[in-house]
Structure 1
Amino acid sequence: MSYQVLARKWRPRSFAEMAGQEHVLRALVNGLDSGRLHHAYLFTGTRGVGKTTLARILAKCLNCEEGISSQPCGQCSACREISEGRFVDLIEVDAASRTKVEDTRDLLDNVQYAPTRGRYKVYLIDEIHMLSGHSFNALLKTLEEPPPHVKFLLATTDPQKIPVTILSRCLQFNLKRLPAVLIAEHLQHVLDQEGLSYEQPALATVAQAADGSMRDALSLLDQAIAFGSGEVREQETRSMLGSIGRDFLFDLLDCLAAEDGEAMLKVVGEMGAQAPDYSEALAELLTLLHTLALAQTIPSSVTEDVPQRERLLALAERLAPEDVQLFYQIALIGRRDLPLAPDPRIGFEMVLLRMLAFRPQSAAPSAPRVKASPQAQAPEPSRSPEKQAKAPMPAATPPPADAQQPVSAREAPAPVSQPVAQPAAAASADGAAWFDTIDTLALKGPARALAMQCEWVGYSGGKLRLRLDPNHQHLRNPALEQRLAKALGEHYGEDLQLEIEMRAPEGAIPAQLAEERAANRRQAAVETINQDPNVAAMRDTFGAEVINGSIEPID
């Protein structure tokens, strides 16, 4: 017997064998079991997600000799003939090759006649969006009022091209792309039944390459089996697909974290020996950067089954979140522009070199700075980082007037111990000073959001205490607290231990102060505009009015 490809051999023959698409299956099963049958069904979705398969199973349910049911017997002559594609009352039409109105009219001439063997005469029209406008018009009347013995099953990958007059006469089901995890599980089931050996990462690679299509996944699996001489191995599968191993991607990110350009180009050279698809390599790098961003922001999202989890978490600790976000944006733009490069490898290397050359300003190491009082913002003379004086801690008692002026490091006196404020007093007296401190820190993203929601409590014995409202519990995680403690330590010039207590703030927090300051600036801008003589002249001359909410202060 000749070999039958996996995509045909493992095509589902009943609703129970379908992988995914539960939202469609539920509606069809309930309709069949309750006898609520529509005369026209439209299945939409990308290629290989089960549109034609569902239509054939539905035709089997309608014509099973055991009766209309969501579970056809599969043994009667009607069920067997539909499975084998030779049932006389199932008329399958490829609309892509029969687009003319004459073809549609010839097809509909036989609608009036009763089915030859089955209960219903079923018209399965695939890629119906390819019909011409006249063909749709010829189909319209029959589709609206078909004979009771006729059912229309329509399938398309582009429902936008179908006239709304056709769509309104059909029961429409949108089939989704299948998730890679579900595809990998189905491939594993197929290989277990076929008795073939495989590696789990290889199946994940095939499922990812299938891009949501089960048929594509089975076709790629057939190719992988042939490529591996009856075995499905990860390295061989990646070689077949032109993709690269995750080890290369981790090595590249390790080099970027160490700012080692020479080692990075060496890794690219090792990749080039495998003749990879560099566009696919950038796509996999984007996926890895996305996982890294999740690990840094929501550590619980990185479950135990994530490949190379330990190395992923270690890399998430080494790279700053700002770097990860910038790398993602550079890789995204680089993949878009890759076809414009004189050579794919050159384009790939330039993407990595941009990641190495450009860094967010906050990611650059910053030396401790002398913090001037808000009342005296005089420019500081330039000096070397090692001669910087420690910035004073926010305290309930303001520093003396002579201490508010910037001084050179050589003349800076030793820091004077400030009296530590009690939590309630510090919350009211130090709110503005704490807000000003946050503005000077090299913090962005979630770490800055955490600081802006914290209230200053006090400082003693190298321990800095903050208070966070329990409603913002989601901002607390070890990585963000470590970044905040590091930034504060660099600012004050000493190692700090950060302690955050979960209680409702007793005073204004920096986020509230920021909103108040922004509101005051907007109000000042509105008053400035209203008092402007040119605006007054336009009011008097043209009857102009200033639109409320349209004035914003200029930074």
Structure 2
Amino acid sequence: MSESTPYRVLARKYRPQRFSELIGQDAMVQTLGNAIRRGRLAHAFLLTGVRGVGKTSTARLIAKALNCIGPDGQGGPTIDPCGVCEPCVAIAEGRHIDVIEMDAASHTGVDDMREIIEASRLAAFSARYKIYIIDEVHMLSKNAFNALLKTLEEPPAHVKFLLATTELAKVPVTVLSRCQRFDLRRIPADLLAEHFAHVVAAEGVAAEAEALALIARAAEGSARDGLSILDQAIAHGAMDGGAAEGVTAPAVREMLGLSDRGAVRRLFALLLEGDAVAALARLREQYDLGVEPAALFRGLLEVVHGVTRAKSGGADDPAQSVEEREALADWASRMGHATLHRLWQLLLKGLEEVQSSPLVIEAAEMALLRLIHAADMPDPGELLRRLAAGQPVAPAAAPATPVAPTPAETPSYPVDFRALHDLLEACGQHRLALLLHDKTELVRYAPPVLSLRSTALPADLAKTLREATGLAWEVRFDEGGEAVPSLLRQEEALKSEDRARVLAEPVVAAALEEFPDAELSEVRSG
């Protein structure tokens, strides 16, 4: 390339010029080809998909396919435009007068639509069809959409509308119903890596297969994003050693802030082994190399996902190395689904904390430690199995401080405390029942004699009891005798015993040890 020739970025230089050059959109190309061959062309097409999958490029290819006249000037619409006739060349260069491209993000108003509607009534100047390509059509205002509806439904025979959008949900259903819709899929990573290999070969740049696989993963299904990253990687590789340095995997990892997948697997193994010291050292090592903790957690999530897919019999990822597949298969044979799901949830929570914490590396360390400790816990199914077999369910630990009273500590009362329940039932809804329940400590119950210890009861209790129950009672207040606690205190003691018994259950104790912020809010009897 001469110094006077401006540099064209790879995303523009390698924009598809034929339908055969579209990556990963075979179904759409086949449907469109059948429509062209049979003369069943819609008057409006809607192209949807994530950024960079080729929506605008596809729209231009459709424009070429509809207006191509062939090298001899006698051709008709074709799925394989020649690329050499005047319409094909002019459309490819973006200068055809009958192919009008509009960015809806900057032309959102109803007046812009009125201009299109008025112009669409005029015949094409030189092409077979006058074509309007409206990109990011979801950005149009409500009034602009309404103005376009009638023309979309019944356009002049010489007009075709090609609409493109990344946010299909924002396009009114009235517009969707008037268009033939094509969903452009995310491009698989293996196809992207293969495409990038062709690009670097055409550019005369050496590139490692692993480096191209990393770029393909980072592109997340977008050819344009991937080519932009590849452009940057080529420049990055040339910084230290010229163009001959090429694109290497370590350089791409450094550029993107990615962790070595092997390092991630080694860290994952340390987490499963419960080696906290080594795991934290590995984390710090990656951090010092410039790897963001969030990227490391995403790598760990990918490992868990890969192990789960391997365990479920999912297809192999073509971007994975042989060593990685073997490691995932080995873990899959030794880990249960419940453990994998728990690891996934813990890593997700850790990623959220790392992304939101002002202390990034500290949050990452705490999240890894939590994961290591949780790895010692058996899954719920294993816990039930151990309980049924009478086996211990929690890791060995120092004896905990007893939280429940021992049987020897349970008080033994000198009287039948159930007797006061009978008296309360006899009182019914009388206000005295509440006082007897909450405030009365019973010393002796031998009807009609009632010996109590309480200062909250009325002095004329015998009279009040006779009114409430119809029986004559002799009430004595004995402050020196041994008394049974009030019914209220007894009920509270029973609740405390139930709570202590639940807290002492091995499953609950193990759960609270793992999640120290958790609390037992309520104990319900079965």
**TM-score tier after normalising by the smaller chain length:** 0.5 to 0.7
How far did 1:321 drift?
Answer: 5.2
**CA RMSD in angstroms, aligned pairs only:** 2.9
Counterpart position of 1:183: 192
Give the counterpart of 2:77 among 45, 64, 68: 68
Counterpart position of 1:257: 272
CA contact (8 A) 1:91 1:122 kept: yes
Correspondence 1:130 to 2:146: no
Equivalences for residues 407-422 of structure 1 within 5 A? none
Give the counterpart of 1:359 among 375, 380, 404: 375
Query: Alpha-carbon deviations, 1:92-142, whole Å to 9, x = none?
Result: 000100111112112222111111111110000001111111111111111
For residues 131 and 355 of structure 2, the distance between their equivalents in structure 1, rounded to whole angstroms, comes to: 47
Q: Which amino acid aligns with 2:39?
A: G
How far did 1:319 drift?
Answer: 5.4
For residues 392 and 69 of structure 2, the distance between their equivalents in structure 1, rounded to whole angstroms, comes to: 94
Corresponding residue SS for 1:178:
coil
Correspondence 1:77 to 2:97: no
Equivalences for residues 2-17 of structure 1 within 5 A? 2-17=6-21
Correspondence 1:281 to 2:296: yes
Change (3 A) 1:141 1:320: closer
CA contact (8 A) 2:63 2:99 kept: yes
Q: Which amino acid aligns with 1:308?
A: E
Change (3 A) 1:12 1:307: farther
Corresponding residue SS for 2:122:
coil
CA contact (8 A) 1:294 1:302 kept: no
Counterpart position of 1:325: 341
How far did 1:204 drift?
Answer: 1.2
Fraction of identical pairs, as percent: 43
How far did 1:252 drift?
Answer: 1.1
Equivalences for residues 324-403 of structure 1 within 5 A? 324-359=340-375, 361-362=377-378
CA contact (8 A) 1:255 1:263 kept: yes
Change (3 A) 1:183 1:369: closer
Unaligned stretches of 5+ in structure 2? 71-75, 397-524
Correspondence 1:87 to 2:103: no
For residues 128 and 380 of structure 1, the distance between their equivalents in structure 2, rounded to whole angstroms, comes to: 64
Greater displacement, 312-321 / 266-275: 312-321
Counterpart position of 1:113: 122
For residues 50 and 317 of structure 2, the distance between their equivalents in structure 1, rounded to whole angstroms, comes to: 30
Counterpart position of 1:22: 26
Equivalences for residues 141-540 of structure 1 within 5 A? 141-229=150-238, 230=243, 231-298=246-313, 301=316, 305-316=321-332, 322-359=338-375, 361-362=377-378
How far did 1:322 drift?
Answer: 4.4
Greater displacement, 5-14 / 309-318: 309-318
For residues 325 and 194 of structure 2, the distance between their equivalents in structure 1, rounded to whole angstroms, comes to: 21
Q: Which has the larger radius of gyration?
A: 2
CA contact (8 A) 2:67 2:87 kept: yes
How far did 1:281 drift?
Answer: 1.8
How far did 1:22 drift?
Answer: 1.5
Query: Alpha-carbon deviations, 1:372-408, whole Å to 9, x = none?
Result: 8xxxxxx8999xx9xxxxxxxxxxxxxxxxxxxxxxx
Corresponding residue SS for 1:154:
strand
Total equivalences in the alignment = 379
TM-score (norm 1): 0.64
TM-score (norm 2): 0.67
For residues 250 and 47 of structure 1, the distance between their equivalents in structure 2, rounded to whole angstroms, comes to: 31
For residues 123 and 301 of structure 1, the distance between their equivalents in structure 2, rounded to whole angstroms, comes to: 43
How far did 1:147 drift?
Answer: 0.7
Corresponding residue SS for 1:20:
coil
Change (3 A) 1:380 1:76: closer
Corresponding residue SS for 2:119:
coil
Query: Alpha-carbon deviations, 1:32-63, whole Å to 9, x = none?
Result: 11111111000011110111111100000111
Query: Alpha-carbon deviations, 1:400-445, whole Å to 9, x = none?
Result: xxxxxxxxxxxxxxxxxxxxxxxxxxxxxxxxxxxxxxxxxxxxxx
Give the counterpart of 2:60 among 48, 56, 66: 56
Unaligned stretches of 5+ in structure 1? 373-378, 386-553
For residues 115 and 314 of structure 2, the distance between their equivalents in structure 1, rounded to whole angstroms, comes to: 62
For residues 145 and 290 of structure 1, the distance between their equivalents in structure 2, rounded to whole angstroms, comes to: 50
How far did 1:283 drift?
Answer: 1.3
CA contact (8 A) 1:322 1:360 kept: no
Change (3 A) 1:113 1:321: closer
How far did 1:296 drift?
Answer: 3.9
Change (3 A) 1:359 1:193: same
Corresponding residue SS for 1:219:
helix
